[in-house]
Structures are given as C-alpha cells and as structure tokens.
Amino acid sequence: MSSENSNTIERVDPPLTGSELEMLNSFLDYHRATLLWKISGVSDEDLRRKTVPTSTMSLLGLVKHLAYVERYWFQRRFKGENAIFPWTKDDPDADWRIEPDETTESVIQLYNEEAEKSRRIVEASSLDDLAAIAWPDGSSPSLRWILFHMIEETARHNGHADLLREAIDGATGE
C-alpha cells in the first residue's frame, strides 16, 4: 500500500507454528492491524467519502462498524454484558455512519479500545467457553467459533477497504 504513514502501523505476521489460541489471536491481530494500515495516510475528508456509487460505505465507517462488531461478539454475545450500540430497529446501519461530531481520531481510538477489550476477554477465557447469550435454538458458539468468525469478518472487511482505498488514491495492498 502506498501511503506516507503506512509504516507507522505495525503488522506482525502470524507465526507459522504455535498453540491454537496463539494462532487465532495472531491472525485476528494481523487483520486488525491491516485495517488500520489500509486507512493510514488518507485525509479525513477521504476517509469519510463514499467512493463506490452503489454503496454508502466509507473507510472510516468501516472502522467504526468493526469496532462495534468487536463489542458485540466479545462483550455482548460472549460475556453477556449490557453493551451499548448505535443501531436501532429504525436505524440498523448507524454503526456505519460517521456523525458530524466524530473525528477520525475518535473512531480509531474506539476501534483500538474495543480490540483491546476483546483481547482481555480472550486472555481470561478458554477457547471452549460458550457464549453467555445463546442462539434462538438454545445453542451457544464457543469462544473458538467467535475468534474464527472475527478473523473472517475482519478479513472480509479488509477486502472492502482495499476497494475503497483504491478508489480514493489508487493504493492497493495485501
């Protein structure tokens, strides 16, 4: 990715060997860092710009959305905490929208804080622990499932970030 600030984001390649927990955490952290790497060096105006005509998605909105995805899966779903979210039945996509009072720094800080809370929850748990909030059929995903899902979710949105970033300044990356 060609960006003046891309070298300020440290992306650590996941190890080739390690425990299951180490591998899952490493892959998720790699994708978390990749998201921030993909937005580095982009102006505030461009981070908010919707660059794909058929979508309302912006780079900064994507970061905000993933912050709330972290909160939802680890704090709400897994721990059963009464976490707060911006969406409602009438406004289900509020987590994608950047409000006028939100800054780039505040959205990135939110993302980093939510990822850190998720890391602490994982550290204090076992991969076989079940989510506190079950599916409608009564079954519950394990922390292992949630980590796999978060890797998939973050990696998928990194693909979206590639397209959005390329539309802004032509920068591409892995």
Q: For 10-66, what is each residue's pLDDT tens digit?
A: 899 999 999 999 999 999 999 999 999 999 999 999 999 888 777 889 999 999 999
pLDDT band at 110 (very low <50, low <70, confident <90, very high): very high
CA distance 84 to 86: 7
- Taking all residues of the chain, what is their mean pLDDT, rounded to a whole number? 92
Residue type, 7: N
Residues 6+ apart with CB under 8 A from 8: 40
Architecture per CATH, 42-169: Up-down Bundle (1.20)
Query: Residue for token digits 């976490």?
Result: 83
pLDDT band at 3 (very low <50, low <70, confident <90, very high): very low
For residue 36, the number of C-alpha atoms closer than 13 Å in the C-beta half-sphere is 21
CB atoms within 10 A of CB 53: 6
